[in-house]
Amino acid sequence: MAVGQFYLSCLVLGSLGSMCILLTIYWVQYWRGGFAWDGSVLMFNWHPVLMVAGMVVIYSAASLVYRLPRSWVGPKLPWKLLHAALHLMAFILTVLGLVAVFSFHNHNKITNLYSLHSWLGIATVFLFACQWFLGFAVFLLPWASMWLRSLLKPIHVFFGASILSLAIASVISGLNEKLFFSLKNDTNKYSSLPSEAVFANSLGMLVVVFGLLVLYILLASSWKRPEPGILTDRQLLLQLRPGSRSFPMTYKPVTVRQPCEPW
């Protein structure tokens, strides 16, 4: 039951994540004039798209790698590599998003990092960078002892969820800030709720719903990878082929101790 619910949740999340990216692209293409890489306001338009794609959607996909039921059994190294690669992809897109906004500000003589949104965003990216390098050094490279990994794992997990929460807050504040700056003439005020404001506000709510669902899956105990060295009933179910009669219809959860976690 838990496996089926997880894959259904993945389908829903994949659809919501794709919608977040596509609707952000549509917003800046239809209402904000499209894209360019020349220091103009059209270059700024890359910023929301890259940040939503990198810091929210791809970051979430990387965070959920260890919730995949197939990662519960077998060697953990391929899943570690996928986890690190997706986070690296998210980080690269995030850096490009920062380049877009800083280049736009510098080209137009606009002060950098003056708003609460920019402070929150930079803090999120800084924590993300520290999180990735710590994870790469301690959990991917083979030098760290199991004692050190066990000590740092709860911290790593906590900051993983915290960074996603901060990224969502940054996106929401960024959307709101952009609308305040753009919708300020008498015929198209933000306070009059024009169509662009309705669309962008709805996009922000969609990002919030997506992020909350990701956080729920991350915190749901039934979808967490079993602890190292323990073979649970969920792993046994995955190891059995569909339709196999070697597993009884009624069973009790089995716990089998293994010497160590597979590398």
For the chain, the structural domain boundaries read 1-240
What pLDDT sits at residue 185? 83
What pLDDT sits at residue 8? 85
Long-range contacts from 43-47, C-beta under 8 angstroms, 24+ separation: 43/100, 43/103, 43/104, 43/107, 44/100, 44/101, 44/104, 45/100, 46/96, 46/97, 46/100, 47/97, 47/98, 47/100, 47/101, 47/104, 47/174
Q: How far is Cα 17 from Cα 11, in angstroms, rounded to an integer? A: 10
**One-letter amino acid of 59:** Y
Residue 60 near residue 214 (C-beta atoms within 8 A): yes
Tell me the per-residue pLDDT of 213-247, one tens digit each, with 9 for 90 and over.
999 988 876 777 776 555 444 544 455 545 444 44
What pLDDT sits at residue 141? 86
Q: Taking all residues of the chain, what is their mean pLDDT, rounded to a whole number?
A: 86
Q: How far is Cα 52 from Cα 56, in angstroms, rounded to an integer? A: 5
What pLDDT sits at residue 142? 85
Q: What is the mean pLDDT of each run of 10 residues along the chain (263 residues)?
A: 73 95 98 95 97 98 88 84 96 98 96 96 98 93 88 93 97 96 88 95 98 90 65 50 46 46 46
What pLDDT sits at residue 244? 45
What pLDDT sits at residue 228? 59
What pLDDT sits at residue 95? 98
What pLDDT sits at residue 250? 47
CATH topology of domain 1-240: Four Helix Bundle (Hemerythrin (Met), subunit A) (1.20.120)
The full DSSP string for 160-174 is: HHHHHHHHHHHHHHH
What is the pTM (predicted TM-score) of this model? 0.84
Residue 246 near residue 240 (C-beta atoms within 8 A): yes
What pLDDT sits at residue 245? 45
